[in-house]
Amino acid sequence: MTQTHSPKSKALQGKTIIITGGSRGIGREIALKAAADGANIVIASKSDTAHDKLPGTIFSVADEVIQAGGKALPVKVDVRDEESIYAMVGQTVETFGGIDALINNAGAIRLTGVEETPIKRFDLMHAINERAVLLCTQAVLPHLKKSENGHIISMSPPISLKKHWLKPHIAYTVTKYGMSLLTLGLAEELREFNIAVNSLWPKTAIATAAVEYAIDAKILPMSRTPAIMADAAYEILTSKDLAITGETLIDEDVLRAGGQTEFDQYKVDPNCDRLFPDLFVDLD
């Protein structure tokens, strides 16, 4: 269950937040967390029809957003397509009058070595992961500049050059590190406009369809729920005056910095003693 933070109650009231890949998993959870504050949520995703193995559509999440107390705009979007992105941004501004935050949550994954990674799959990961961050930022930037507290959050990890992260799936790794490099550069470029730019990544595996189908379903009991990422994203989104910018952040660290000390409520299996660390995170 998504938590509420009373000291910042309704801090996102009336704010307009675009979430790519918002039809399920972490994106959906962030949408519902912000909706509880009364935010306007744009669910920007390709999922406009139900899938047998992947529940959730832009319309089902829009209904949940409204039930949670927010306003919703479901938009079918392909983050690889420039025309699709700009049309979504135009529809957002027409509906809600502006944009306050962009969350780059859409992602593609394939954890294979070079020989086992078709170049078309690399092109897909590049387009959905790092290229989409640049494209979506360009599209929303004129409107974020008008926000009193603009934010961009990308779901990408701290950059580790340790060999055990570079060896097994370098094609995927390059695209995720590219997202984080964009965070670092954009934070400095957009600082003068009071737009905070950060990356957010989970300390442990998160129980999502990506873990179940793209990695290993056996990891799910050793995972946390998407609520921890939503709570961490909320902390970032409600920070002001560039208090947090230019950082590649870990969810638990963000919450600890905000005073939270208990994390057992996020466990998928309350009895699990050993959580599975996420990619690019060394628990040492």
Return the active site residues: 172
**Among all chains, which residue has been given the structure tokens 């600082």?**
191
Q: CA-to-CA distance for 49 and 52, rounded, in angstroms?
A: 10
Contact, 267 vs 224, CB < 8 A? yes
Residue 83 pairs in a beta bridge with: none
Helix (H, G, I), strand (E, B) or coil at 65: helix
Angle at which helices 227-237 and 25-35 pack, to 10 degrees?
50
Element (H, E) at 250: strand 247-250
Cα 165 versus chain centre, distance: 21
Torsion over CA: 158, 148, 71, 33 (sign): positive
Burial of 117 per CB tally in 10 Å (0-12, 13-18, 19+)? middle
Helix (H, G, I), strand (E, B) or coil at 94: helix
The angle subtended at Cα 135 by Cα 47 and Cα 199, nearest 5°, is 85
Alpha helices in the chain (DSSP H): 25-35, 58-68, 82-96, 119-126, 132-144, 163-166, 170-189, 209, 227-237, 251-257
Cα 42 versus chain centre, distance: 13
